[in-house]
Amino acid sequence: MIKKNFPIPIYYQIIELIQEQIEKGELKPGDSLPSEREFAEKYQISRMTVRQAFTQLVNNGYLHRLQGKGTFVAEQKIEQTLHGLTSFTEDMIARGMEPGSELIHFEIIPATSQIARQLAIKEYGPVYEMKRIRLADDVPMALETNYISANLIKGLTEQIVNQSLYAYIENQLNFRIDHASQIIESSVANQMESQHLHIQKGAPVMRIQRNTFLQNGTPVELVKSSYRADRYKFMIQMKR
């Protein structure tokens, strides 16, 4: 219920009302909302106020607009915590989702100077380069490029990569993956990301570089990923 004689601004009450309906499941992903005019007439408020609330909900990822069709409830974002080192497969299983990968590139290449430095190997040394589309319930979530030393992690095949890379490294090769560092920055989708993630070119993405290390400090993996900003968010807990 919208209360006009209330200290909380009306546009913010609209935001809270719609967010609550989404969180309770009264509004589901894909459901259409009334037009700004219909919403304004229903609650006897200005269309400008409704537009302000809808725009904020779009910016916050609760709604999305389709040109000429209206405003709809968006798919809710997957939340990943940043206080532990887990694989994409482990993250999706923990959320009750079906993880998947579509391998679009796999070959051994000579390491560039930058890749060699990140993996602590000689320049031009052999590295696996693999590009995968990471899926959750068959929906593209991320475009991921991995670089791994072929002299360290031996025997990788397309079949292994299509399953769980971390499981192979730890269970089959008996290496212990210990820690990683990550850099996260915002960007916009290029043509390749647009094509493989099913988003518009220029749509917001989160670019992540992860350097993963074994227990003895040896770099085992360099990963460069682009995550859909409309479907993914990261959460970190901090203690003083």
- Domains in the chain with CATH codes: 10-73 (1.10.10.10), 78-235 (3.40.1410.10)
Give the pLDDT of residue 108: 96
Q: Where are the beta strands (DSSP E) in 32-176?
A: 63-66, 70-73, 78-81, 99-110, 126-136, 139-149
Burial group, residue 99, by CB count within 10 angstroms (0-12, 13-18, 19+):
buried
Return the bridge partners of 128, or none: 108, 148
Alpha carbon distance 78, 88 (integer Å): 12
- What confidence score (pLDDT) does residue 127 get? 97
Q: For the chain, give the percent of residues with pLDDT over 70.
A: 90
Rounded to whole angstroms, the maximal C-alpha distance in the chain is 70
* Amino acid identity, position 167: A
Q: What is the pLDDT of residues 24-77, one digit of tens each?
A: 888 888 888 888 888 888 888 889 998 988 888 887 778 878 878 888 887 766
pLDDT digits (tens, 9 = 90+) for 163-215: 778 889 999 999 999 998 888 898 999 999 999 998 888 988 889 899 999 99
pLDDT above 90 covers a percentage of the chain that reads 37
- Contacts (Cβ under 8 Å, ≥6 apart) of 218: 120, 152
pLDDT at position 1 over 60:
yes
Helix residue ranges per DSSP H, the chain? 10-23, 36-43, 47-59, 88-94, 113-119, 158-161, 165-167, 191-197
21 touches 62 (CB < 8 A): no
Per-residue pLDDT of 132-146, as tens digits, reads 998 888 888 889 999
